[in-house]
Amino acid sequence: KPAAYDDNNIFAKILRGEIPSHRIYEDQHTVAFMDVMPQAPGHVLVVPKAPSRNILDADPATLAHAITVVQKVAKALEEVFDADGVFIAQFNEPAAGQTVFHLHFHVIPRHEGVALKP
Ligand code: 5GP
């Protein structure tokens, strides 16, 4: 069984304004900000405000809203970065590559022939 939600994770601190972030979108339920170590220019994280560790313990209504924000951000990035495509990813638990334990979606504009940074 996964660990419980920890209120001191880095995105909880960002949501509370205790750590700065470059926010590109915010509504009542969701925030989107720039990833501090972008895998490509325009790498955005979409983060629901409700406390869940990842998709496995998320409330379905929270998820439903978050995915509409992911779509909005993807469309905006496609246009602003003149992208050829948009990569969307989401990791759950360390075995799947999760390192920050507050639910988030990666949204990354992609260009033909340009690899992601590791
Ligand atoms: P994941 O948990 O999905 O593997 O990735 C967490 C992501 O959060 C990484 O892409 C990492 O660069 C990003 N990240 C970690 N710490 C911070 C931070 O303090 N600020 C921002 N904006 N992004 C962060």
Please report, for residues 1, 37, 113, the alpha-carbon distance to residue 105 in angstroms, rounded to integers and kept in the order given. Answer: 22, 15, 23
pLDDT, tens digit (0-9, with 9 covering 90-100), for 69-84:
999 999 999 999 999 9
| Residue located via tokens 């988030």 | 104
Dihedrals φ, ψ of 76, to 5°?
A: -65, -45
Indicate whether 103 belongs to any domain: yes
Strand positions, DSSP E, the chain: 23-26, 30-34, 44-48, 85-89, 105-110
Nearest CA to ligand 1 atom 17: 36
**Can you give the CATH number for the domain in which 61 is found?**
3.30.428.10
Indicate whether 118 belongs to any domain: no
Retrieve residue 88's tokens.
């969307």
Host domain of residue 64: 10-110
Per the prediction, the chain carries an average pLDDT of 97
CA distance 46 to 23: 10
Q: Is 104 a catalytic residue?
A: yes
Per the structure, the count of domains in the chain is: 1
Indicate whether 4 belongs to any domain: no
20 lines ligand 1 (CB under 6 A): no
ipTM of the complex: 0.99
CA of 106 to the centre of ligand 1 (A): 9
11 lines ligand 1 (CB under 6 A): no
